[in-house]
Amino acid sequence: MQDWWRNSVTYQIYPRSFQDSTGNGIGDLPGITARLDHVASLGVDAIWLSPVFTSPMADMGYDVSGYTDIDPLFGTLADFDALLARAHGLGLKVIIDQVLSHSSDQHPFFIESRSNRDNPKADWYVWVDPRPDGTPPNNWVSVFGGSAWEWDARRRQYYLHNFLASQPDFNFHNPDVQDWLLCTMRFWLERGVDGFRLDTVNFYFHDQKLRSNPPDPRNTAASRVNPYDMQDHLYSKNRPENLAFLERMRALTDEYDARAMVGEVGESRRAGQIMAEYTAGKTRLHMAYSFDMLGPEFTAEHFRQKIESFYAAAPNGCPCWSFSNHDVIRHVTRWAEYGTPEALAKQAIAMLAGFEGSLCLYQGEELGQTETDILYAELTDPPGFKFWPDYKGRDGCRTPMVWDDSAEAGFTTGTPWLPIKPPQQARNVAGQGAGSVLEAYRETLAFRRKTPALRHGKTRFLGLPEPLLGFLRDDLMCLYNLSTAPQALNVTTGANLTGPNRATLTGATLTLPANGFAFITGATAAKPA
Q: Active-site residue numbers?
A: 199, 255
46 neighbors 194 (Cβ within 8 angstroms)? yes
CB atoms within 10 A of CB 382: 20
CA distance 275 to 172: 20
What three-state secondary structure class fits 521?
strand
CA distance 209 to 489: 57
CA distance 357 to 7: 5
Identify the bridge partners of residue 48 per DSSP, sorted by sequence position. 12, 95
Q: Is the dihedral of CA 27, 32, 35, 40 positive or negative?
A: positive
Helix or strand holding residue 77 (H, E): helix 77-89
CA distance 253 to 196: 9
CA distance 256 to 250: 10
CA distance 305 to 312: 10
Radius of gyration of the chain (CA): 23
Helix or strand holding residue 436 (H, E): none
386 neighbors 376 (Cβ within 8 angstroms)? no
Q: Is the dihedral of CA 285, 313, 476, 456 positive or negative?
A: negative
18 neighbors 71 (Cβ within 8 angstroms)? no
Distance of alpha carbon 283 from the chain centroid: 22
Contacts of 406 (CB under 8 A, 6+ apart): none
CB atoms within 10 A of CB 273: 16
Q: Which long-range contacts (CB under 8 A, 24 or more apart) does 278-282 make?
A: 278/201, 278/202, 278/242, 278/243, 278/246, 279/314, 279/317, 279/318, 279/319, 280/314, 280/317, 281/316, 282/250
CA distance 346 to 514: 11
Contacts of 176 (CB under 8 A, 6+ apart): 124
